[in-house]
Structure 1
Amino acid sequence: MTEPQLLVPPTLGVVASIGDLAEGRAWLDSLPGLITELREAWSLRLGAPWTGGSCSWVAPAELPDGRAAVLKISWPHPEMMGEAAALRVWQGHGVVTLHAHDGVRHAMLLERVDPGTTLGDRDWLPAEERLLVAARLLARLWSAPVGDASGFDLLSHVTARWAGLVEQRMERLRPGFDPGLVAHGIRLLRELPTTALRRVLVHGDINPGNILAGQREPWLVIDPKPMYGDPGYDPWKLVEQIDDPFRHPNPAAVLRRRFAIFGEVTGEDPARLAAWATARRVEDSLWWVSRGNQPSHRAMSEAAILASIAGL
């Protein structure tokens, strides 16, 4: 294995534009030194980093005993802080194994998944078959006993903060969205987490690109942004991204079937899953406008379809 380990993919430059500009640039400047320190501390041989990530430097590694691994060094931000703790909770059941963690350098040594193709890459398989894979994985993650959840963000706190931001953005940006539909989204962001029948460790960012084909298990989940709360939060990005349901001739029928699949596998109420999808689509729409983009009225029409499925 060659060792061009000091290469920093250009996509990582995005961290310099997120949050505090000076902090982002300082982290990028420190990254070559962090890579060297971790390579030496864990006696690693490193390959060229994978490109495409915007908040983490990730590269193939070889352990001293010859085993394949992955070195991941993250730009420190709130969403990544619970990743190692979540992997410890799940203990490799349906997820990558955590070999080592350096909390000071925000680095992890992880199991390397081979061949590592994503669930999204399997587009020759029917969408519902791929959703079944994802639903079964989620059911396993949600069943893990958490013990002390104090080290994880509470989903209710996160979505309450989002609700406040949606209100502020709606008033400040005046995007022309249906105020009643936005009000539904705000209410759901505040109420859904508090009415959950159970609370679990949710992945927080599970999508077809974060489910990889492996050998130890057929599929393994990566890159959690964990929170503790209502499991109904998790499925939406899978439902939305396995293929675009809104491009089907009858999107409402497709969406009902997809929510039903998750309901059948996990025991969650499909209408509640649709309610979560409505809330998240509304929040996404206001976030999009807040980034200087033109309002997406298509996205809000999709939120209206989701709201009708949820019975709102």
Structure 2
Amino acid sequence: MTAAPAPLPSGIAAHVASYGGTRWLDTLPELLAGLCARWGLEPGRPFTGGSCSWAAPVRTADGAHAVLKVSWPHRESRGEAAALRHWAGDGAIRVLAESAADSAMLLEACDPGTKLRDHDSPAEERLVRAARLLSGLHGREPRAGLGLERIVDVMDEWAELVVRRMAEFRPGYDPHLVAAAVELLRGLPRSAGREVVVHGDFNPGNVLAARRMPWLAIDPKPMTGDPGYDPCPLVMQVDPPMRHPEPDKVARHRFGLVADIMGEPADRLAAWAFARLVESAFDLLNVGRAADAEAAIAKARLLADQAGV
């Protein structure tokens, strides 16, 4: 008899609710119970990381260890299984089973599972490891029929949202800075030198230490397009540059380090990060998180010069 799955951690539940996922939260216990019964799973305590999904270690009917993940059905989660299958375990976690109708996957367990963010090694060493992993993910050429959204289409939508929200919220941000971000969101995807499957959320909490490979990526929010889209959260969250006495120099050096490994221009990576941070600020404003929005704008200002703004 399967144990009753524990509820979603409160912090994740609050985040999902802030984006309109209350109905999904209400149906989650029944959904989890059905999945565990169908797949013969004994669930453990849910992981506390992430923002839009319930995930927990499970024991399968044959005694193996795995992870059950059930996502709040939203736009960014739709292509996760397709991207993981595209990478076929080469640098990313493997999909063991999927129930697309339930936005649910059974995934291989990642042991020991230490997050790159928490790993006891120097920041630059962690950046190098992650950049090599990301470069490997980008090295697998997209095939027809993946069904993933294109970065160029999504960025056009984001640019329009930034313009609209600037007029709606009037947050007092430098209009030149905002206009530059809008221009980059529209222009960068169209000037890409190659097209890859991007991870979409390559932050240091989504890179885990493993036994099968030294590091594995989890939780993609994939699209196809410019590889330069991906490094922003990695560079800005591994020992954040803002914590240092000269954050602009630290950020410039680290974007250069990652750029050399990826084979991309450092100023292009910085431009992508600048544009993404400005867009993120307006997304945060839209859900009432003004302090977090101001922090995102401060990071964008830090990168403006390197981004050519």
Q: What interval of TM-score do these two structures reach, taking the shorter chain for normalisation?
A: over 0.9
Asked if the contact 2:4–2:33 (Cα under 8 Å) also holds between the matched residues in 1, the reply is no
Query: Which residues of structure 2 form unaligned runs of 5+?
Result: none
2:147 counterpart SS class: coil
Asked if the contact 1:3–1:46 (Cα under 8 Å) also holds between the matched residues in 2, the reply is yes
Residue 190, structure 1, aligned to residue 219, structure 2: no
Question: Quick one: structure 1 residues 251 and 155, their matched pair in 2 at CA, closer, same or farther if it must change by over 3 Å?
Answer: same
Amino acid at match of 2:135: A
CA–CA distance in structure 1, aligned partners of residues 145 and 246 of structure 2: 41
Residue 235, structure 1, aligned to residue 236, structure 2: no
Quote the residue 2:150 is aligned against.
154
Quote the residue 2:242 is aligned against.
246
Question: Quick one: structure 1 residues 5 and 244, their matched pair in 2 at CA, closer, same or farther if it must change by over 3 Å?
Answer: same
TM-score, scaled to structure 2: 0.93
Quote the residue 1:172 is aligned against.
168
2:305 counterpart SS class: helix
How far residue 48 of structure 1 moved from its aligned partner, in angstroms, is 2.5
How far residue 54 of structure 1 moved from its aligned partner, in angstroms, is 3.7
Question: Quick one: structure 1 residues 282 and 213, their matched pair in 2 at CA, closer, same or farther if it must change by over 3 Å?
Answer: same
CA–CA distance in structure 2, aligned partners of residues 261 and 249 of structure 1: 19
Deviations 1:189-216 (A, max 9, x none): 0100011000100000011101111111
Query: Which residues of structure 1 form unaligned runs of 5+?
Result: none
Q: How many aligned positions are there?
A: 307
Quote the residue 2:116 is aligned against.
119
Amino acid at match of 2:269: L
CA–CA distance in structure 2, aligned partners of residues 298 and 47 of structure 1: 35
2:205 counterpart SS class: helix
Question: Quick one: structure 1 residues 149 and 177, their matched pair in 2 at CA, closer, same or farther if it must change by over 3 Å?
Answer: farther
Question: Quick one: structure 1 residues 34 and 289, their matched pair in 2 at CA, closer, same or farther if it must change by over 3 Å?
Answer: closer
Indicate the larger mover: 94-103 or 30-39: 30-39
Q: 1:208 aligns with which of 197, 204, 207?
A: 204
CA–CA distance in structure 2, aligned partners of residues 159 and 224 of structure 1: 17
Quote the residue 1:48 is aligned against.
45
- For 1:74-153, list aligned pairs within 5 A: 74-122=71-119, 124-148=120-144, 151-153=147-149
Deviations 1:237-285 (A, max 9, x none): 0100001212322222211211111111110111100110111121122
How far residue 137 of structure 1 moved from its aligned partner, in angstroms, is 0.6
**CA RMSD after TM alignment:** 2.0
1:3 counterpart SS class: coil
Amino acid at match of 1:180: H
CA–CA distance in structure 2, aligned partners of residues 145 and 171 of structure 1: 40
Amino acid at match of 1:100: A
Quote the residue 1:259 is aligned against.
255
**After TM superposition, which residue ranges in structure 1, 4 or more long, deviate above 6 angstroms?**
none
How far residue 139 of structure 1 moved from its aligned partner, in angstroms, is 0.5
Question: Quick one: structure 1 residues 279 and 63, their matched pair in 2 at CA, closer, same or farther if it must change by over 3 Å?
Answer: same
Amino acid at match of 1:10: S
TM-score, scaled to structure 1: 0.92
2:101 counterpart SS class: coil
2:97 counterpart SS class: strand
Question: Quick one: structure 1 residues 190 and 102, their matched pair in 2 at CA, closer, same or farther if it must change by over 3 Å?
Answer: same
Q: 1:35 aligns with which of 32, 38, 54?
A: 32
CA–CA distance in structure 1, aligned partners of residues 30 and 11 of structure 2: 19
Residue 226, structure 1, aligned to residue 228, structure 2: no
Asked if the contact 2:93–2:218 (Cα under 8 Å) also holds between the matched residues in 1, the reply is yes
CA–CA distance in structure 2, aligned partners of residues 200 and 33 of structure 1: 38
CA–CA distance in structure 1, aligned partners of residues 198 and 221 of structure 2: 8
CA–CA distance in structure 1, aligned partners of residues 98 and 110 of structure 2: 18
Amino acid at match of 2:307: A
Query: What is the aligned-residue identity percentage?
Result: 51
Question: Quick one: structure 1 residues 48 and 294, their matched pair in 2 at CA, closer, same or farther if it must change by over 3 Å?
Answer: closer
CA–CA distance in structure 2, aligned partners of residues 269 and 84 of structure 1: 30
1:104 counterpart SS class: helix
Question: Quick one: structure 1 residues 50 and 298, their matched pair in 2 at CA, closer, same or farther if it must change by over 3 Å?
Answer: closer
Quote the residue 1:5 is aligned against.
5
Question: Quick one: structure 1 residues 232 and 57, their matched pair in 2 at CA, closer, same or farther if it must change by over 3 Å?
Answer: same
